[in-house]
Amino acid sequence: MIVNGFVHFWSRTEVSGVLAGVATALGMAVLILLQTGCDEPDTPSSNERTGQKELKRPQRPDSPRPYHVEKVTFRGAGGVELTGILSRPVGEGPFPGVVLVHGSGPANRDYEIRGHRFFQVLADYLTRHGTAVLRYDKRGIGNSEGTFASADHKTLARDAAAALRLLKNWSIVDAAKSGVMAHSEGGLVASRMHLRHERASFLVLLAPLATPGYHSLPRQHARRTSLAGAPDSVVDSLRLVRRRIAEAVRSATDSAEIIQRVKAIYRRRGASVEEFQEFAESSLTASSRDFIRSTPRQWYRNLDVPVFVLYGENDIMVEPERNADSIQAALQKSATKEVTVRVIEDLNHWMQPAETGRVHEIAQTDTTIDSEVLEKVTAWINRREE
């Protein structure tokens, strides 16, 4: 779509009862949330079909499963009731435990995107190999109470802490061998949770952001635009605009000031501020602001438990080598005595096989999570029992 001479892109994904859309104008990403229905964990949702063709998802677990599955509820930050699923191996235990923490955006317990249920596949594999797993709907999503847009990193960390406490207090779970596995922005949330709210015995971080958000976001949008075939002049212009917007968000004291600064950026570009003001305001979620303002290394260098980190070589959302070097340097200065950081070839941000890492490839692949990733994280967690 072209408005006032500026190119706009629209993408949408459906997650457990929420239709999430992202519009991009002048380098500003806009989040729109529409409530639809709520799917139970094993009920196919509409995003699992492309036209009349049912998408293949061979890693999705079938029933009956060789482990127990229970619905759970617990109180997160501010007493908000959150809902989730606990999967545990058969037997008396005690078993090691893992809480799964989502990345950015609205996400249900299965962390759905384009027909894939990433956390369901992770939980299934881990539970089959002897680990109890708790995954939950973010606040305001699925069956959880609360409001997603107002949840900052502190709130999300307290929610994750409540989930970990619930898991550790389960009679069949070994509290001393229970930790967190987090994806992308969830690495910041999990680290904050461990340092401020509830100690984990280990952290597994998949594609975590390790460079400042206000640096990463402009580079991310520039890479995506370049891979889409835009000329260098457009890519450079987008990077500059995104940098200015990120700096506005980073340095402003409140949302009103952010809006005023973004208006000024629009004016300099010759666009109608009023046309985009409503979208701009809707995009200013608390977690988005925290992401842009984040300086991840301050969290990672204070960790004091074993940390296992994986990146995909074709990740265009979080630059793999750049972030791997950054988190490695931070963890080397930390008190933790066990650090593993790896970049795996030919995988995207979601740990799937991918040729370019572009978002459209997610729906095109049958693989939800690469088998090497599942094997590596499971083997590493199981070594905590030795």
Dump pLDDT digits (tens) for 248-287.
888 888 877 877 887 777 777 666 555 555 545 555 678 8
pLDDT for the residue numbered 218: 73
pLDDT for the residue numbered 360: 87
Q: Note whether 107 and 13 are within 8 A (CB).
A: no
From the CB of residue 122, how many other CB atoms can be counted at a distance below 10 Å? 28
Query: pTM higher than 0.75, yes or no?
Result: yes
Domains in the chain with CATH codes = 2-35 (no CATH), 67-211+296-383 (3.40.50.1820)
**Eight-state DSSP code of residue 347:** B
Name residue, tokens 């007493």.
Answer: 79
Distances (CA, A) of 235 to 129, 217, 218: 45, 13, 10
pLDDT for the residue numbered 264: 79
Give the tens place of pLDDT for each residue, 203-237: 999 999 999 888 877 777 777 777 778 787 877 77
Cα–Cα dist 240/247, whole Å: 11
pLDDT for the residue numbered 233: 81
Beta-carbon contacts of 152 under 8 Å, excluding residues fewer than 6 positions away, are 286, 287, 289, 290
Task: Give mean pLDDT in consecutive 10-residue pieces for the chain, a chain of 386 residues.
Answer: 32 37 38 34 40 72 92 98 97 95 94 95 98 98 95 97 97 96 97 98 97 80 77 79 81 80 75 55 74 90 98 95 96 95 97 92 94 97 71
Beta-carbon contacts of 44 under 8 Å, excluding residues fewer than 6 positions away, are none
